[in-house]
Structure 1
Amino acid sequence: MTLLYLALLLASIGCMVLLDRRFTLFLWRAPRRAAATLAIGLAFLVCWDLAGIAMGIFLHTPNEITTGLMLAPHLPLEEVVFLLFLCYLSMVLYEGSLRVFAVRSSRGRGSGAGDSRAGSPRSGPSREHTSAPGREAGS
């Protein structure tokens, strides 16, 4: 019984928090709404697990990489932390995908269709599109 799996899960959540914070995707965009969404998603998945445990579908067997802390019969602490990570990952991927698609669709309508950085919310003007007054770009 070790903390290895729990530590890896918490490190993964930490990485997601850093991405979320950097790009303001989920928790930092609307903290109350995000917390409610995570709580509802986690509650649903825990209930799903408990139903699976009651039907004998999900079982836990002791191993060397988990803590051995059980929140209920066959429901280890790591399972709940994993489900939290799964919910958080899903929401960060969803919000990130929406942002990528919005940038791509706005780029397709704009003049910067050939520049991969055009329309990026965090990029400044690119050198290819910057020219001195009275001169055309590229001449």
Structure 2
Amino acid sequence: MPGLYLVGLLIAIAGIAVLDARYRLFFWRAPLRAAVVMVVGLVFFLAWDVAGVHLGVFFIGTNGLLTGVSLARDVPLEELFFLVLLCWTTMDLFAAVRPVVERLSARRPGAAEHDEGRA
């Protein structure tokens, strides 16, 4: 069924957006900074894909789940949405884990003396 993969990606992106909004992780914490990070990530990974296609590493096989729309040779439309999902999930995960790591390191015995020694 053409387009099924794209529908799945859009559902996953919607789920990540809900988590992001609920916990104010990435776009809902700093929208401008998040947009810049997202664009940089997308440009990097799209360039990576184009280089991989040029080197013959990446290619589109036969698959009835894709829409058939290509952004470039052997780069399907779905790749853009996959990369949005990849970047957004990574940044939400980073934003969710960072405060936990900071709290754990602050509770570590001797952390205050260690931090004072760096000043």
Q: TM-score band (shorter)?
A: 0.7 to 0.9
- Tell me how far apart the structure 2 counterparts of residues 100 and 4 of structure 1 sit (CA, whole Å): 37
Number of residue pairs matched?
Answer: 108
The question of whether the paired residues in 2 share the 8 Å contact of 1:52 and 1:58 is answered with yes
- Once the two structures are overlaid, the 10-residue window that deviates more, 58-67 or 12-21, is 58-67
Larger Rg: 1
CA contact 1:58–1:74 (8 Å) conserved in 2? yes
- Report which stretch shifted further, 44-53 or 55-64: 55-64
**Contact 1:70–1:76, Cα closer than 8 Å, also in 2:** yes
The residue type equivalent to 1:90 in the other structure is T
TM-score, normalised with respect to structure 1: 0.73
- Alignment partners' CA distance in 1, 2:75 and 2:24: 33
Aligned structure 1 segments of 4 or more residues deviating by more than 6 angstroms:
none
The structure showing larger relative contact order (alpha-carbon pairs under 8 Å, at least 6 residues apart) is 2
Asked whether the equivalents of residues 62 and 68 of structure 1 are also in contact (C-alpha less than 8 Å), the reply is no
Between the aligned partners of 2:79 and 2:17, the Cα distance in structure 1 is 19
CA distances 1:41-64 after superposition (whole Å, capped 9, x unpaired): 000000000000001110112311
Shift of 1:101: 2.1
Q: Tell me the equivalent position of 1:14.
A: 14
- Structure 2 unmatched runs, 5+: 109-119
SS at match of 2:78: helix
